[in-house]
Amino acid sequence: MQSSQSNYNRMNQPFSGFSKLSKEDKINWIAKEYFSTPNEAKALLKQYWNSDAKIQKLHDEFIENTITNFYIPLGVAPNFLINGKYSTIPMAIEESSVVAAAAKAAKFWSTRGGFTATVMNTEKIGQVHFTYKGDVSKLELFFAKAKATFFDDTASITANMQKRGGGILNIELRDKTNLIPNYFQLHVTFETKDSMGANFINSCLEQFANTLKREAHNYQSFSEEEKNIQVIMSILSNYVPNCIVRAEVSCPIADLQEKHITNPQDFAERFVQAIQIAEVEPYRAVTHNKGIMNGIDAVIIATGNDFRAVEAGIHAYASRSGQYSSLSHAKIENGIFTFWLEVPLALGTVGGLTSLHPLVKLSLEMLEKPSAKELMQYVAVAGLAQNFGALRSLTTSGIQEGHMKMHLNNILNQLEATDEERIQVRKHFKEHVVSHSGVVNFVENLRK
């Protein structure tokens, strides 16, 4: 299937009304405009539709301008012993070796006490950003007098959340004029229980903005200029440094011994040094943390949460000292090896895709319908397990040996290898290092 440059060049002005076309017409237009073999393009798009019309309609309505489904494999990593209880963790990801590494780490630690996970806080944040030109002390006095009104004006929004034990925790006035002239914030903290709470938080913030403008306009002590508060925007923050979960493993150094760890003391010391490098070297820290996110994102996607929001918040947290650094840490103390991470995770197990996507519901049921706090623990543990698996490989046999063996299937699929060729390739590369060029050459020789 080849893209048609000549067709593309014909489209020299915006397409008006594309969103109003039927799904079939959208596909026909795309196939005609961008592909030299339109029927082949249309057939491929339709091949990935769900055969159940009801499920397909559900997927079509998740986003806009839907033309097909883009599949990502859903796998599982069993044998996770977390806080004394075994679990199997669902992981949706397209990258080879991630699920295998997590499962291997889970099995390793299941015989060494397992993982412990603790939710340290669940506070979420939203802000109303505004400008005010006038006496700051008058603004502070105004806010102190109006603060109760902000709570009163959102009572109808927060009623259901309060019944579940959540709601607005606090509202602060923050002076940011040292950063931008006349810039202030209402900095608001929330508890949203098992809901991620984005819609709830944003609804509260927009009401705060209306209340702020109304109350300022009616405040007699303000001059006319001071009454003219300009709200720039009202929006939740995905940086949640007080919504933290900790995951940890530890055991006597001698217990680290296994087939690939013949010298536990040397392994533990190299492991700690690898972590220390990621703590001080940003170039290493980025790749180190990407490995952690392999585990975290996979569980977040499988459970219908927003991995983009989590990624942004976690990477901001990794930079909180002013330099990007490792999310995980390790130490050796009194003969005990300890490895842990702390990450901010704003997650939900009710609302959004959690109640709509059939596979999300299945994943949550696999996890025995966890609360948001429990899901935070599963996600953090998956990240720690993935990181342990990567560092164990890096400090022993190297990362490529295991990764390329897992990647072998992808190479064989690219080459459209037959069943007989696959058997011979796997037999050969049991004794040889896997590389893309090596596999290509071997298959080409077989075909000669």
Q: Catalytic amino acids?
A: 95, 290, 306, 403
Place of tokens 């939900």: 348
339, 250 in Cβ contact below 8 A? yes
> At CA 371, angle to CA 366 and CA 377, rounded to 5?
80
CA distance 167 to 190: 6
Ranges assigned E (strand) in 254-396: 328-333, 336-344
50, 69 in Cβ contact below 8 A? yes
Phi and psi (nearest 5°) for 131? Answer: -115, 145
From residue 128, how far is each of 36, 38, 85, 206, 304 by CA, in Å? 50, 49, 42, 8, 28
CA distance 371 to 130: 35
Q: Which residues pair with 338 in a beta bridge?
A: 250, 331
245, 376 in Cβ contact below 8 A? yes
**43 Cβ partners below 8 Å, 6+ apart?**
none
387, 292 in Cβ contact below 8 A? yes
Output the six-digit token pair for 173: 């006035």
Q: Which pairs count as long-range contacts for 168-171, CB under 8 Å and 24+ apart, including other chains?
A: 168/204, 169/123, 171/147, 171/208
Strand 244-252 to 116-119 pairing: antiparallel
Place of tokens 């006490």: 113
The percent of the chain in helix, strand and coil, each rounded to the nearest 5, is 50, 20, 30
Element spanning 41, H or E: helix 38-47
- Angle at which helices 98-110 and 282-302 cross, to 10°: 90
Q: Which pairs count as long-range contacts for 417-425, CB under 8 Å and 24+ apart, including other chains?
A: 417/443, 421/446, 421/447
Q: Which residues pair with 171 in a beta bridge?
A: 188
